[in-house]
Amino acid sequence: MTACPACNDTGATLAGKLAGLLREGDVDAAIEAGLMDFIPCPECTRRGAHADAHALVADAQQRLRDAWAARDRHRARDARLQRRAAERAARRAPAATTDTRKPALPPAAAAALARAKARAAQKP
């Protein structure tokens, strides 16, 4: 088979390298080698060159996209649940109040008591 006129077989070479890493189970190395940035050469795809490698790489890319999307959904759900729990706790917490207790006696009774104490203090 002759070299691809569009990519000079660089696409096929990279696809083969990525597929090899994926077959070994080294997904991290495949990602570092450009797995998610890999776009197959249209001419190589049309000719069917390294079809198995292209299929393996495309499948791994899709699985990673699905996994990353699920991770993002989980993180968003976790953040949403934490926010709701904080809002719920804030609603249930007693409101911060200043000392607004009712006086023990009504004002008229308090005044009468004060007058009685004053008279009692004046008597020897």
What are the mean pLDDT values of the chain's consecutive 10-residue runs (124 residues total)? 66 87 94 91 74 90 96 97 94 74 81 91 79
CB neighbour list of residue 101: distance below 8 Å, 6 or more residues apart: none
DSSP label of 40: -
In this structure, what are the phi and psi dihedrals at residue 121, rounded to the nearest 5 degrees?
A: -70, -25
User: pTM higher than 0.85 for the full model?
Assistant: no
Q: Identify the pLDDT of residue 73.
A: 97
59 close to 15: Cβ distance less than 8 angstroms: no
